[in-house]
Structure 1
Amino acid sequence: MLLYEYKYELLYKSSEVGIQYFGFITPFFDILKSNKEIIVDATYKTNALGFELYAIMGQFDGAGFSMAYLFVDNSKKNNGARTEILKGFFQSLYDRGLNNIQFFLTDKDFSQITASQNVWSTLKKRLSDNTLPKTTTYSSSSANENFSFIDIEFYPSNLQVKKSNFVFCPKDLRQNIISLFEKHLHLHPLIPNINGNFLTSTEIWKASVEEMYNFCFTNDLRHVWAYLWSNWYEKKMWILWARSSVATKICIFRTTMLMEFHWKVVKRDYLPKFFQSRLDLVTYIIISRLIPHHQQQFNKYQQKREIVS
């Protein structure tokens, strides 16, 4: 009733007993639905019912604006059901016109990734997460089949883990790895390398793998290499985060930082006085306070663009 009163389109909602959810689009949807890149993320602790709040964000002149929101009951932990709900929500956005997505940024939530792959079949995703996994499955022979320079005998040893002084990665080498990782993230076929040459996506992948592998091999970082290959540099993972995997376009968004800032504004500027707010109050604040504020910002961006042009 509240959304209807404010002329917001309720795009997607639960109709059966079970996990409850509802999603709606904002005035920015029709403006930004031709975007080729979006950020998707969820936040918690915004309402008394414990619903997760998802947002879809597009960009205009590098600034992010929310195109749609989805509330999902988080009381029943079921990743399979959550994936199906997200798939349905993404499909409703696709049918409404958001059907030309090439870049999908999220924080390595595989419910979102799986759902997006089912809806935007040509999608190339970008992930932003540096959390180490609890376990790593690595096959040196499989890695060697991809690149012959990878030594089959270079793999993690359980004896090393059992040592009381075992260190996954020495502190003085961590920044080197991060620097290499950031370098590989930004390489792209449309950007020449230091020699002025334009490499293909495959050539960039091979060169990046070789550079990271050689660093780990030289410093005997067996566990680090196993983790990096299995979670980042193997082909099926590489295409999830490396900008070079899409040769014809460079994604403007680099991380989910805009979305994190969006949630910070919602909680700090609009909900600080409300503890465990009612669901309708959170929705009311979004559509009557947050979105109008963003519309003012958007109008300023438009005016600046007109002046420059």
Structure 2
Amino acid sequence: MPADAIEFIHNTQDGVSPSDLADTVTELFKNVSRAQALNIWREKMEKYYKRDENQLKSAAILLREFGDDVDIFEPVGVPADVEVLAWGMKKIAGPLRAESLRRRRWMQHVYNTNSRNLELYAIMGELDNAGFPLAYCLMSTATSISPDKRKKTLTAFLSCAKARYGLQPKFAHPHAKISICWWHVDDAVGKRLKSSKLSTTRYKPAKAREEFSFIALDFIPTSKADKDEYEGGKPDDLSDDEDDTPPDLTHNPSRLTFKLPAPQPSLPRRTDAHGIPIIRLPPGPFVEIYGQSDSDSDDDFEDSEDEVADELEVVGQKRKRTSKRPFCPIELQSRVLQMMKEHSHVHALIPGYCHPSADGIRYWAVKQMYDLCVANDLREVWAYLWGNWYRKGRWELWVRSAHPTIPRLRTTMICESHWRKLKQDYLHEYHSPRLDLLVWIILTKLCKTYTTKLTKFLTPSCRTRMSELPSWRDTFRKTWRSLEKRDISDRVHDTYRPDVNRWVCSCPAFLVSRFLLCKHLVQRVQVVPATFFREVKRRHTVPFWQHPALISLHDGNDGPALQALGADLPQDLDVPEDEDEDDDQEPAVYIETAADREFDASAATFEAEFDREIQRVEEFLAGLKYQKQFRDRRMLDALQKKGSGFFRLAQACLVKERKAQSTSGQAAQTWDPQLADAMYYRPRPRVAERET
């Protein structure tokens, strides 16, 4: 490579993207390729981040060099065979803690950010509905066989963050409410309703009837249950959902345990016009199997009990039953999702829509969904919804009525925006970067923008431009101004009863509003000035919006409508300063459970099963190589036809690996439909980095 080209690359400013640099070099030096330019650029950049050949060790050394910006965590209780590196952002978490803004936190992880395939976790904090990264954790459990390995590691990581920064969130999207992102709930339920698979989550009507007497014992799925179908994996309280066989307390090796399926209800028989049951006799020996005789017809040999749901197909000398009944009809899918959306939004602080208590809301929601399923004979849909969303333990995860206050956000879009910024703004120039390079990018590029943004938020100034404030405020302003122009019919006031002092309304629009707004409330206060949209504060309880400019039009003696709060109203309590005095106590000793012992036994089983599959593939591969000498086309046709599914899986995995190892081109996308079969395939690192 020409010396002047190398010198040109070394003298280029570090802020230039490698792709633009490679384009410039190839234009100036015709004999230099993009790969050569990128290799020299990579060697130049290694002095900033590479401290050791071992990537994890190098990243740890790099973090210690940034001691003024980060706090290095030392998690306690992490299994010995788990790789973990955790740190906190001192310059971000410190100011947030000083402001006592510890009310809401998110934690989410992302894949495909480094060549070692370590999962990257981040804890996000909130200031004025804007997200800021507080701490990060790089973790790999790929080689670990310890039970609850991921749970123990994340618990240790969160304990370090809590002890260092005093985190005590009220919402975490036993003192915080765990909230599932509504976007993911809607996506999961929508996909399951569109599925044609009838077998669904195991359902115990007796357990459900113990809570709600209106649930009938005979309204159960007619298809066989799928014991492995649970949203998010099998729950910890699995015994509440399954009729498990009792454990063998005698440990008798000769004992055999049988489990008989529960009797399934039969559909009512069809009757004629006089009420006499219609009996269909099976076809006799005179019926032609391969062709229809003159004496029979399609209507004479239908199965009466399953006539609506099933039909019989003739395959050779056998009759095959194929299901034609959908899991959920198309015309009801949107109705079920809309009903779930309403159930997720209702809250005791919003009067006039349903029962004013958390227990009453759940009773109302369960009965409403159950009645819909019964009216349309959606047995499998009800079993799925109850087992995954409406029973105790799952209901609290996705509805806001389970907590006495209302969270400001309903999705994890702040976390998604954080990862999108990392991947699209910085990592798109690096294909599977080293761990130390990933850490260097986070510290010097990604978090630098958040530090600048936080400083601007916390510095008092006369900002007038909406662009300098969190993006939601501009959306809030546009929504408010739009509602000021809506027409309101005179008769709806008595129906919806908007209350400006509490800032609540019983109309359906207020219930599902992102900002808890509706035209009835907006038009019952005086026109707000422009400064209102930069200063208004949103609360977790009534009144949800508070500002001196919110003055009611209907009662001029109230003064600022939302400024003076009555003593009888719920208060938006701050976290006391001495909340975390006991955070320095020794961590609790982990007690081994039956699930841990079961995991130890299953780990060896998994390894053995995987080894058997690998051995089978290797033996078959050797046999295929032997077949090549015979040049038998029939064998090749059978291989391509019968093994097409396996070959598609292999192709998807190899394509994903090539994209991950490539230093040019577009990296593999997590949700690429062409690589859906390879979702759980972890690409190998590049050859040069497999030992680091």
Q: What band does the TM-score fall into relative to the shorter chain?
A: 0.7 to 0.9
Shift of 1:221: 1.0
Match of 2:175 in 1: 122
Cα gap change, 1:199 to 1:17, in 2 (>3 Å): closer
Cα gap change, 1:98 to 1:154, in 2 (>3 Å): farther
Match of 1:4 in 2: 64
CA deviations 1:62-115 (Å, max 9, x no partner) are 11111111000143366711111011111112222444222222xxxxxxxxxx
Shift of 1:180: 1.0
Q: Runs in 1 of length 4+ with deviation above 6 angstroms?
A: 159-162
Please say if 1:176 is aligned against 2:335.
yes
Please say if 1:292 is aligned against 2:292.
no
Shift of 1:190: 1.3
SS of equivalent to 2:410: coil
Shift of 1:21: 0.3
Shift of 1:32: 3.5
Match of 1:220 in 2: 377
Give, as a single letter, the amino acid of the residue that structure 1 aligns with 2:410.
R
Measured in 1, the distance between the counterparts of 2:127 and 2:217 equals 48
Please say if 1:83 is aligned against 2:136.
no
Match of 2:356 in 1: 199
Shift of 1:212: 1.2
Give, as a single letter, the amino acid of the residue that structure 2 aligns with 1:85.
T
Match of 1:40 in 2: 107
Residue among 201, 206, 213 paired with 1:136: 201
Give, as a single letter, the amino acid of the residue that structure 1 aligns with 2:148.
G
Alignment of 1:40-79 (within 5 A): 40-76=107-143
Verify the 8 A CA contact 2:355 2:364 in the aligned structure 1: no
Shift of 1:262: 1.3
Higher radius of gyration, 1 or 2: 2
Give, as a single letter, the amino acid of the residue that structure 2 aligns with 1:174.
Q
Match of 2:592 in 1: none
CA deviations 1:213-244 (Å, max 9, x no partner) are 11111111111111111111112111112111
Measured in 1, the distance between the counterparts of 2:211 and 2:344 equals 20
Verify the 8 A CA contact 1:42 1:54 in the aligned structure 2: yes
Give, as a single letter, the amino acid of the residue that structure 2 aligns with 1:166.
R
SS of equivalent to 1:287: helix
- Greater shift, 197-206 or 182-191, is seen at 197-206
Match of 2:418 in 1: 262
Match of 1:241 in 2: 398
CA deviations 1:264-291 (Å, max 9, x no partner) are 1111111011111010111111111011
Give, as a single letter, the amino acid of the residue that structure 2 aligns with 1:185.
S
Cα gap change, 1:44 to 1:94, in 2 (>3 Å): same
CA deviations 1:15-63 (Å, max 9, x no partner) are 8752110111113223335422211111011001110000111111111
Cα gap change, 1:230 to 1:77, in 2 (>3 Å): farther
Match of 1:18 in 2: 81
Match of 2:438 in 1: 282
Match of 1:95 in 2: 163
Verify the 8 A CA contact 1:189 1:200 in the aligned structure 2: yes
Shift of 1:158: 1.5
Cα gap change, 1:273 to 1:224, in 2 (>3 Å): same
SS of equivalent to 1:246: coil
Measured in 1, the distance between the counterparts of 2:141 and 2:322 equals 41
Match of 1:108 in 2: none
Point out the structure with the larger strand share: 1
Measured in 2, the distance between the counterparts of 1:190 and 1:304 equals 34
Residue among 154, 158, 164 paired with 2:323: 164
Cα gap change, 1:244 to 1:274, in 2 (>3 Å): same
Measured in 2, the distance between the counterparts of 1:217 and 1:47 equals 50
Verify the 8 A CA contact 1:40 1:54 in the aligned structure 2: yes
Give, as a single letter, the amino acid of the residue that structure 2 aligns with 1:295.
T
Cα gap change, 1:74 to 1:275, in 2 (>3 Å): farther
Structure 1, unaligned stretches of length 5 or more? 106-120
Shift of 1:299: 3.5
Measured in 1, the distance between the counterparts of 2:390 and 2:74 equals 37
SS of equivalent to 2:137: strand
Match of 2:386 in 1: 229
Match of 2:366 in 1: 209
Please say if 1:145 is aligned against 2:198.
no
Measured in 1, the distance between the counterparts of 2:352 and 2:431 equals 52
Structure 2, unaligned stretches of length 5 or more? 1-60, 193-198, 225-308, 311-320, 464-533, 536-692
Shift of 1:163: 4.3
Measured in 1, the distance between the counterparts of 2:400 and 2:379 equals 26
Match of 2:508 in 1: none
Measured in 2, the distance between the counterparts of 1:48 and 1:302 equals 37
Shift of 1:205: 1.1
Between 1 and 2, higher relative CO (CA 8 Å, sep ≥ 6) is seen in 1
Verify the 8 A CA contact 1:52 1:71 in the aligned structure 2: yes
Shift of 1:150: 1.3
Aligned-residue Cα RMSD (Å) equals: 2.5
SS of equivalent to 1:236: coil
SS of equivalent to 1:252: coil
Question: Between Structure 1 and Structure 2, how many residues are aligned?
Answer: 291
Verify the 8 A CA contact 1:32 1:67 in the aligned structure 2: no
Measured in 2, the distance between the counterparts of 1:125 and 1:67 equals 18
Measured in 2, the distance between the counterparts of 1:16 and 1:104 equals 25
Give, as a single letter, the amino acid of the residue that structure 2 aligns with 1:45.
N
- Greater shift, 144-153 or 156-165, is seen at 156-165
Give, as a single letter, the amino acid of the residue that structure 1 aligns with 2:161.
L
